[in-house]
Each structure stands twice: as C-alpha cells, then as structure tokens.
Amino acid sequence: MIEARSLGKVFPDRTRPVVAVEDVSFQCAPGEIYGLLGANGAGKTTTMRLLATMLRPTSGTAIVGGFDVVREPEQARRCLGFLSTATALYGRLTAFEMVQYFGRLHGLTDGEIASRASDLFGRLDMNEFRDRRCEKLSTGQKQKVSITRTLIHDPPVMIFDEPTNGLDVMSARTIVAFVRECRAAGKAVIYSTHIMSEADKLCDRIGIIHGGRLLAEGTAASLKSAHGGGDLEDAFVAIVDAASC
Amino acid sequence: MSPVFTVYRKELKDILRDRRTIISMLVVPVVVMPIIMLLFSGVSAKLVQSALEQVPEVTLLGAEDSPRIREALASNKGLKLIPPTADYAARISNKSLRAAVELPRDFDHRIGQATETVPVKIYYYQGELRSGFAAEAIEKCLRDYRDQVLIDRLAVRGLPPDFTRPLNTTRQNVAPAEKVGGNFIGSVLPYIVILLCLTGALYPALDLTAGEKERGTMETILSSPASRTQLVLGKFFVVLTASIVTALCSLLSMTTIFLVSRGLFGLAIQGKVSLGTFTVAPGAVLAVLVLLVPLAVLFSALLLALGTFARSFKEAQSYAGPLILVAILPAVAGLLPGVEMSPGLAFIPILNLSLVSKEIFTGAFPWGYIALVFASTCLYAALALWFAARMFNRESVLFRT
C-alpha cells in the first residue's frame, strides 16, 4: 500500500525557491499499478524520490508499506524496490554479487539470498551471466540484474521511475512484463512515465502531474472520456492546457 | 551483519578490483616511490661524484708579470689552467669554462711588499654545481698560497707559524648516532608517510563518492535500507584502510630499500650523518604509526566530504589539488631547520605530527606534546568525519548535477 498525503517539495535556490512538488495526494492499493504521467520537469522524479525516501518532503508525507517516509525512512525502504534508468549497477561486481549485496543490506541471511537468487536467476534466465561482471553485460542483461536487485527481498511495494527511458524495444518489454508480474504478485506499483502508450497499456489508474501538481486522476478510459473521448495524449494535453489557462 | 560492515566489505572488494586503486595503493608506494628515490639518490650521487672527480678548466686573467702565483695555480692538480679569452664571462655562462680568476698587475711584487691586502676576484656561475666546485678549488689553492706567504713573512721576522692564530676552534659532535640519524630520518620519514597517507586515501575516497555519482550507482544505493550515516561510515572505513595500508606499505618498502642501499643514501646526505651505524628504535616507529592513525582518519574524512560534494570525479580531482597543497605545506614546514615543537604549533594539524615525529625519532618521547598532538588530531579527525557524514546527508549535495 502506498499513500501520498499532500506531498510537497521545495528546493532552496539563491534567487527564489523552486517548487518541485506541491500538495500531491494519491493512493495505490496492493495488486494495482498507479501511473504518474507527466512531461519532463513535471515533478515525477521528485515525487518518486520522495516516496523512496531519497528526498525528504518539505510538506506532507507518504506512507509506504505502512511506514511513514518522514519518521521511519529506513523501515519504509525495507518495504520497497526502486528501479529507474538512473539506478545503475556496480560495474566491478558480478551479477550475483550485486544481488547479494542488496540482499545483505536488506538484512537477509546468505542462505536466504542464495535460495531466492537461485529462483530469480532461473526465472529471468540469468544463470549464464551470473558470475560475469556487470560492466561486461549487455543493456538487457543489466536490466535483468536490476530487476533481481529490486526483488531479492520480495518487497510489497515497487517504485519505477521512467524505467524504460532510453531502452531498446526488447529491454523495455522485459521491464513492462516484469511490472505486470509485480502486479500479479499483489505488489503495490507506482510507475512514472512520459510515454502515453505505456501508461495507457500498463496502468490501472493514472495521475496526471504538471508543474508539480496532480491535475487529474482516474483510469485511462475515464480520463479519455472526460476530456473529449480521444486518446490519452489528447486527454493529457486538454488537462494540462486547462490548468495553464 | 551490520550494514556498515556490509558496505565496507563490498566497497573494499570493489576498489580492489580497480586497477587504478591497486596502482595508487600498492604499486606507487611499494614499487614506484622507492625506484624514484633510488634513481634520484643514485643519479644525484653519481653527478656529484663525477663533478668532484673532473678537474675543472679555469682561466687566469691578469698577473702576466707574476710568475710565482701563475706557477702556483698551474701546478695545482685540482685545476686545469687554459689560456684566457676576452669572452670568459660568456664561456662560464654557457658552461664551456668553469671559472676564471682575476689577479691584479704586479701581484707577486705587491704580495712581497707586505703592505697591503691584494684583491683577487673569482668569476663563476652561481648555482651551477661544477662551476661552484671550480671556484672552491681556486679558493683553496689561493688559501694555501696565502698561508704559505704568511708563514714566510712570519719566518722573516722570527715569529712562529701560529703567531697570527691565537686560538683554534674545532667542532665535536657529542650527540649519539641515533639522535643525529633520528633528526634526519625524523624530518624526512613523516613527510613521506604523511604524503602517502593522503595519496593512498585520495583515489578510493573520490571513487566511492564522486565516482559513484558519475556511474549512476548513488541512487541505487540510496534506495537500500542502509542509512546514509551507515553508508558513509562503510565507505570511510574503506578509505581509511587504503590510507593506512598505503602508508604501511611505503614504510616497509622504504625501510627495505633504505637498508639495502645505505651507500647511496649515505652519499646523498653526505656530511650530515653516518647511516652505517644508524638504527631506528621500533618503539619510535610504533609511536609515529599510532599518531598517524587520527591523521589518516582526518584525510579520509576530508577527502570523502570533498568527493561527496563534487558532481563528478573530474571535479573532485580539481578540488583535491589545492587540498593536497594545503596538506603538503605544513609537512614541508616541519622539515625546515629551526622549526621546533611548541605549545602553539602542537595544535596545527600535520605540522604537529611532523615536528613531534622528529623528536620521537631522536629518542626523546615528549609525552605532553605526544598527548596534545594525538588529542588535537583526534578532535580534527572527529570533526572531519562529522562533516563528511553531514555532507552525505545533504540532499542538495547528493543530487547535485
């Protein structure tokens, strides 16, 4: 379960403070994919970082897996898996060592890590490059290692920040399939993207974010019908334009 | 397992797989530094030796009417007289002539009169080793000639040769060889070890912070349940390990090289101390090593803070340059003769260690100063570590792009 409660983030600046996120509230239930759809600079990454406790909100809070991100950030992080194109791998570690490192940081014993890694490596067809250094892996193989890294502790909450950015079609498909598996496994999934088709296909509910504010929320179908009956892009543009006027 | 230890273990494995860390932590202190020192001392010893062995070509200006002094200079085995030319100054400057000596007309006659001091001028190339040796050889020859003239003058008057020398001073070293050697070793060794402590910490500190940002793994690790303080502590202990291992490796390798090549080092510091009989007390080495630990903590923490602040490895390197300079200056100041430990200087980091090490290596253990140096460096180290942890907890620093 994820619940953002009036989340706000203001970055101090020499000239004037920058409001990155303002009064953002939403909920994501277990077994649901909640999409955060917005253009570049809309506040998606900041919101995701606030949920993942990498940034501390300047107002409001969020509950992740039952823990308050402001008061209990370490416990909140134990409940979540975070994946973005910015979450790279340690090139000098092997695929298994990378996963093992995160397993240990999550407090798993080496026995638990071995058994869980064996299952995940098998499912994702990773045994061939298990002991190869991450720097020598292809983009697709790296994505699989990242996925395993986020799943090693079997978190109830998954946060994806534009995970398919810059990836080729095949690698992007691996990610999308993985996101669906997470939903099927009953995890609460937050998925940020600026790709309309991806949000349309993947997300159960979508929140449209612009200028740091959540402008609209609903299923893809309800958003489309409420804003002219076109595709999601038309609905998105209509919502953003209405807010800008 | 504590997250700090988990981070430590992973980061250590990570940096040890990096060729650049191995080079800065092991290859440079164990192989490169000793080779450079050996080559430097060997080459400089050889240069001095060959300059000393070579008979310098010098020219005599004037005194055409003074055969006695001409003969004295010509017959001196330490000089090779060549005919004078008008461009002698230019030749000295371009090193085709080592030095020139100018004597006035009627030199022999004026010396014989014993009524005046006859001026003699030596032309040489200041700062040029061989020219300096040539000028010294001319001076020695003329000094011997002057002494002989003086003895002759005294003899004519029936006075003994020592008539003009009412007293004679000699210097006698009473300090034991350990102290004399310790003074030299105590000055140089801490400087080298302090420097290597810093360089050993430099690369890992920047790699584990700015390097992590650059490679995009910072966000990955921040999503783990380890707190930022645990992360920075794990990284800090790795940097500290690298710093201490580098310093220890360099100490070991330099001691070995030192023992193997006493001859070369002896030549390089000729006239200061006979290193043949010199030994360093193990207690002194141990005491200096203990004092080095808080300094290594200070360096490691400062470099970590600096690396965390930088956006990229390159930016971190540009910040590290001035920091190294700031660290070297007090270490060099400790090498200067006459700079001695005082209560005020005991609070200046790096310099205080440099000075107290000098004392320790000479066999003295000024416990008050040792405690003061240790305590003050510990305090600075704790402040630096706190600063590094604070830096690692600042969002504006971690997410600087």
A13 touching B (Cβ < 8 Å) = no
A152 touching B (Cβ < 8 Å) = no
B276 pLDDT above the threshold of 50: no
A41 touching B (Cβ < 8 Å) = no
B362 pLDDT above the threshold of 80: no
Q: What is the pLDDT of residues B373-385, one digit of tens each?
A: 999 999 999 999 9
pLDDT band for position A46 (50/70/90)?
very high
In a 10 Å sphere around its CB, with 0-12 CB exposed, 13-18 middle and 19+ buried, how is residue B42 labelled?
middle
Q: What is the pLDDT of residues A81-104, one digit of tens each?
A: 999 877 789 999 999 999 999 999
CA-based nearest residue to B298, from B254, B244, B246 = B244
Q: What is the pLDDT of residue B173?
A: 77
Dist CA B267 CA B246 (whole Å): 28
Q: State percent of chain B over pLDDT 70.
A: 91
Q: What is the pLDDT of residue B401?
A: 63
B49 touching A (Cβ < 8 Å) = no
Q: How many residues are recorded in chain A? A: 245
What is the identity of the amino acid at B334? G
Q: What is the pLDDT of residue A150?
A: 93
B275 pLDDT above the threshold of 50: no
Token digits for B42? 């060997």
What average pLDDT does the segment B207-218 reach? Answer: 91
Q: What is the pLDDT of residue B32?
A: 83
Query: Does the distance separating the beta carbons of A105 and B3 come in below 8 Å?
Result: yes
Q: What is the pLDDT of residue B279?
A: 58
User: Quick check: A203 and A220 in contact, CB under 8 A?
Assistant: yes
pLDDT band for position B209 (50/70/90)?
very high
The 8-class DSSP code of residue B163 comes to G
Pick among B7, B10, B203, B214 to test the A interface (most A CBs inside 10 A): B10
Between A56, A75, A77, which is nearest B395 by CB? A56
Q: What is the pLDDT of residues A232-244, one digit of tens each?
A: 999 999 999 888 7
Q: Which residues of B65-79 are buried (b: 16+ CB within 10 A; e: fewer)?
A: ebeebbebbeebeeb
User: Quick check: A48 and A36 in contact, CB under 8 A?
Assistant: yes
Between A49, A88, A106, which is nearest B220 by CB? A88
Q: What is the pLDDT of residues B282-305, one digit of tens each?
A: 777 788 888 889 999 999 999 999
Query: Does the distance separating the beta carbons of B395 and A55 come in below 8 Å?
Result: yes
Query: Does the distance separating the beta carbons of B226 and A89 come in below 8 Å?
Result: no
What average pLDDT does the segment A186-191 reach? Answer: 95
SS3 track for B34-85: HHHHHHHHHHHHHHHHHHHHCCCEEEEEECCCCHHHHHHHHCCCCCEEECCC
pLDDT band for position B267 (50/70/90)?
very low
pLDDT band for position B268 (50/70/90)?
very low
What average pLDDT does the segment B271-292 reach? Answer: 66
Q: What is the pLDDT of residue B185?
A: 67
Q: State percent of chain A over pLDDT 90.
A: 77
Q: What is the pLDDT of residue B278?
A: 53
Q: What is the pLDDT of residue B265?
A: 47
Token digits for B396? 């504006």
Residue with the two structure tokens 């004399």: B180
Q: What is the pLDDT of residue B182?
A: 63
State the average pLDDT for chain A.
92
> Strand pairing of A213-218 and A59-64?
unpaired
Dist CA B90 CA B175 (whole Å): 47
A131 pLDDT above the threshold of 60: yes
A90 touching B (Cβ < 8 Å) = yes
> Strand pairing of A2-11 and B57-62?
unpaired
CA-based nearest residue to A36, from A234, A19, A45 = A45
Give the count of Cβ contacts less than 8 A between chain A and B. Answer: 71
- Helical ranges in B75-128 per DSSP H: 88-93, 107-113
Question: What is the ipTM, given to two decimal places?
Answer: 0.90
Q: Could you please report the per-residue DSSP string of B279-340?
A: ---HHHHHHHHHHHHHHHHHHHHHHHHHHHHSSSHHHHHHHHHHHHHHHHHHHHHTTSTT--
SS3 B251: helix
Choice between B129 and B221, residue whose per-residue pLDDT is larger: B221
A40 pLDDT above the threshold of 60: yes
- Tell me the C-alpha to C-alpha distance, in Å, between residue A181 and each of A64, A115, A194: 20, 20, 21
Q: What is the pLDDT of residues B66-94, one digit of tens each?
A: 898 989 898 988 899 999 888 999 999 99
pLDDT band for position B280 (50/70/90)?
low
Contacts of residue A101 in chain B, CB cutoff 8 Å? 6, 10
Q: What is the pLDDT of residue B395?
A: 87
CA-based nearest residue to B259, from B316, B175, B348, B185 = B185
Query: Does the distance separating the beta carbons of B217 and A74 come in below 8 Å?
Result: no
- Tell me the C-alpha to C-alpha distance, in Å, between residue B225 and each of A61, A162, B19, B58, B231: 18, 22, 30, 79, 10
Residues 203-262 of B with CB under 8 A from A: 215-217, 219-220, 222-227
Q: State percent of chain B over pLDDT 90.
A: 36
CA-based nearest residue to A54, from B226, B164, B260 = B226
Q: What is the pLDDT of residue B263?
A: 55
What average pLDDT does the segment A20-30 reach? Answer: 95
B273 pLDDT above the threshold of 50: no
> Strand pairing of B99-103 and B121-124?
antiparallel
How close is the nearest chain B Cα to the Cα of A227, in Å? 37
- Tell me the C-alpha to C-alpha distance, in Å, between residue B243 and each of B13, B250, B373: 16, 11, 19
B10 touching A (Cβ < 8 Å) = yes
Q: State percent of chain A over pLDDT 70.
A: 100
**By mean pLDDT, which of A20-24, A184-188, B130-134, B163-167 is the weakest?**
B163-167
Between A54, A97, A104, which is nearest B1 by CB? A104
B186 pLDDT above the threshold of 80: no
